[in-house]
A and B are shown apart, each in its own frame.
Chain A
Amino acid sequence: MGLVANESQLRGVAASDGIAIGSAYCYVPPDLTVPKRKPETNELELALFNAALVQARNELRNLMVERIGEKEAAIFDAHLMILDDPAFLKRIRKEVEGGQIVEQAVINAAKDLANMLAGMTNEMFAARAMDMRDVGRRILRILLSLPDCALSSMDTPSIVIAHDLTPSDTASLNPELTQGFCTVAGGLTSHSAILARNLGFPAIVALGDDLVESIPAGTPLVLDGQAGILFINPSASTVEIYRKKKDERENRIQQIRSIATKPAETADDIRVEVAANIGDLASAHDAVKYGAEGVGLLRTEFLYLDETQPPTEEKQYNIYRQIFEVLGHRPVIVRTLDIGGDKPPSYMLFPTEMNPFLGWRAIRISLDRLELFKTQLRAILRATEGYQARIMFPMIVDLDEPRQARKVVEEVEKELEAEHRPFAQDVPIGIMVETPAAAVLIDVLAEASDFFSLGTNDLTQYTLAVDRGNAAIFALYQPLHPSLLRLIKQTIDLAHSKGKWVGMCGELAGMPKAIPVLLGMGLDEFSMGPRAIPEAKFLIGKLDAEKSCQITEKALSFGTAAEIESFMQLILDEIR
C-alpha cells in the first residue's frame, strides 16, 4: 500500500447546507466515569448537589453572556430552567434517599427523564432529551471536579468529528476555526444541526458508528452538507469538483448578502421600501442585520403583556428610545396598543366576550382608557426626538376614530410643550387597514391619515370570516384569496388617488408568492419578518413595472385562492 489511502464515503442526514474541505478534528468528551465511594448522609449528598447547582448556574449564565446568537442563549436559558425543575429535583432527592451517591443520582435522574422525552414520537420534542442529558452531564462534571474545556483546545481550522455535540460542547467551540460538523448521532432538529444552520456551517448528522472509528485525527475530508455525503481521504478530482462548487456557492451567498444591504429596487429602477416587523429590542437588531430600510410595524404589546401593571411612561420611553437608536436614521412606525380579549393583560378587566376579535380591542380600548393611551403617546412622542418615527392606530373602522385619536396626540403634544420636553415635530400619523370597513373608506380616511398600512393577518380573517386560530377551518384562512387581493388593490388605488402612500405589515408582504402581485399593485412599502427581507429584495430586483402589472392583472382574474397560488408558483419558478 502506498501512502495515499483510497477515497471512501459515508452517508448521513444533510443537516446544514454548504461545503467544507479540510481535515478531521476528533472530539472526545470528558470521561465522566464515577469512582466508587460510600454514600455520605443524605443531607451531605444533597448539599454536594446544591453546590454543584450553584456552579452550573454560574457557568450557564456566563455562557449566555459570551455566546453568539439569540437561539444559543435560548438553549442555555432552557438549561437554567432545568436546574430549577421540580421533577428533576424530586427525582434526585428520591435517589439519594434510596441510598445512591449523588453522582449516581444525577446520572439516573437525567437518564430517566431524557429517555422519557426521547421516546416521544414528535422529533421536535424528542430532541429536547439532549438538553436534559446535557444538564445532567454538566452537573456530573462539576461533581467530579473536571474543567469545562470541551472543544476549546482545537487550534487549526478543522472539520469536527464527534459522537454527538451537546449545546455545552458547541458553546466552547471557536466559530472561526470550525469548518463544519459531522456527528454519529442526531437528526435534523438536533442541537448541533440547528447551531450549524444558524452559524452557516455545513453539517451532516446521523452518520453512524463507523464515523468515529474510521477517521483518525487529521484525516483529509470533504463534507457535502447538501447531499449529506462525507468523503474520507478524497481523491484529487473530488477535491477539485468540490472546490469549484464551494466557490460558486460562496458567490451566490455574496450576491444575496449584497442585495440585503442595498435599497430595494425593481429591474427598471423603481424604488420600494422593504421594512421589518419587530416586537422588541432583539428583533430591532435583526432588522438592521437583514437589511431593513425601516420598520413598518413596531408592535408595542410586549410592553403590556406579561406584566402585573401597565408600563410606566419612563419604562416605555426607554425601550422605544433604545429601539430607535438601533434603527438609527431608518423610519419606524410605532403601532399603538393592540390588545383585546384574546390577549388581555392581567391587570385589565375585560368583559366576557363571545368574539374578542370583534370586541373591545385596540383603538377602542385606547379611546376608552385615555390615561393608558396618553401615557403611551407621551412615551412615543418623547422618544421620537431626533429620529424618524411615525405613529399608527390599529383597528380603525371609521373617520371618527382617527380624528379623536389625533386630537389626543395634539393634547399630548401641548402638554409636552408646556413641560418643555423635546419631541419631534410633525410626526406622521397613519392608520392600520385591517378591517374591510377601513379598506373601502380609504378616500374618506385620508383626511385623518398621513399614510396607510395594510394589516393583512386581521384583514384576512375579517374579510373571509375565518378565525385563524380555529383548527377546524384553518384551510379556509387564505391570504391569497381573490376577495382579499381585490380589497388590497382597491385600498392602494384609493390611497394613491389621495396622494397617500400605502405599506403592508401583514404576513402577506413577505410571502414570495404575493410579492410580485403586490408590486404590480403599486404597494409602496413591504414590511415583514427580518429574515424574509433578503429574499424579498431579490424578488423585487428581478421584476419590472410592466411584468409585475401583467402578473397582477392575471392574478386578479382568478376565482379561487388555489388557482392564484398555483399561478404564482409558476411565476416564482420562472423568476428564480
Chain B
Amino acid sequence: MAEEKLIVTHEAGLHARPASVFVRAANKFESEITVRNITEGGNAVDAKSIIMILTPGVVKSHEIQIRAEGSDAGQAIQCLTDLVQSNFGEA
C-alpha cells in the first residue's frame, strides 16, 4: 500500500477538467485507489469514478490523501501526486 497527502492548488479544485484528468490517470493503474478530503473530513472515495471523485467536494487549498493498494500502488501514487502538484498539467 502507498499513500500521499497533498494540497490541491488548482482554481477548480477536484472538479471539471482536473477531476477528469485525475480519474483518467487513476484508471491507468491496476491498484485500487481512493481519495479522501482531509480538510473537510469524510470518507475515502473511489478515485477511478468521475462521480465519486466529486463527492468529497475538494476545492482549491484543500488537503487530500491519496491511497493505493495493489501491484502498482507506488507508481500510481507517484503519478497522481505529480499530477496534482503540476496543477493537473497546467503551468
Contacts and interface: CB of A to CB of B under 8 A. Distances in A.
B86 A343 contact: yes
A88 B7 contact: no
Interface in B19-75: 20-21, 23-25, 46, 48-52, 54-55, 57, 59-61
A299 B57 contact: no
A87 B51 contact: yes
Contacts of B2: none
Contacts of A279: 90-91
B89 A116 contact: no
A314 interface: no
Interface stretch (A77-85, A480-488, A508-516, A544-552): A77-85
A177 interface: no
Nearest to B27: A84
A128 interface: yes
Interface stretch (A34-42, A57-65, A301-309): A301-309
A346 B54 contact: no
A354 interface: no
B49 A86 contact: yes
B91 A474 contact: no
Contacts of A346: 78-79, 82
Given A86-B48, A120-B55, A120-B57, A302 B89 contact: yes
B7 A471 contact: yes
B89 to A, nearest CB: 5
B46 A338 contact: no
B55 A82 contact: no
A136 to B, nearest CB: 11
B20 A343 contact: no
A343 B80 CA distance: 11
A125 B15 contact: yes
A299 B16 CA distance: 22
Nearest to B49: A87
Interface string A113-129: 10011001110110010
B91 A299 contact: yes
A351 interface: no
Contact of B23 (A81, A88, A468): A81
| A-B residue pairs, 10 tightest by C-beta | A343-B86, A471-B61, A469-B9, A87-B49, A81-B50, A305-B89, A87-B52, A299-B91, A85-B49, A86-B49
Interface of B: 7, 9, 12, 15-17, 20-21, 23-25, 46, 48-52, 54-55, 57, 59-61, 78-79, 82, 85-87, 89-91
Given A81-B23, A299-B91, A305-B86, 11 more contacts: A74-B17, A78-B20, A81-B50, A116-B51, A117-B55, A120-B55, A121-B57, A122-B59, A125-B57, A279-B90, A343-B87
Interface of A: 74, 77-78, 81-82, 85-88, 113, 116-117, 120-122, 124-125, 128, 132, 279, 299, 301-302, 305-306, 338, 342-346, 468-471, 474
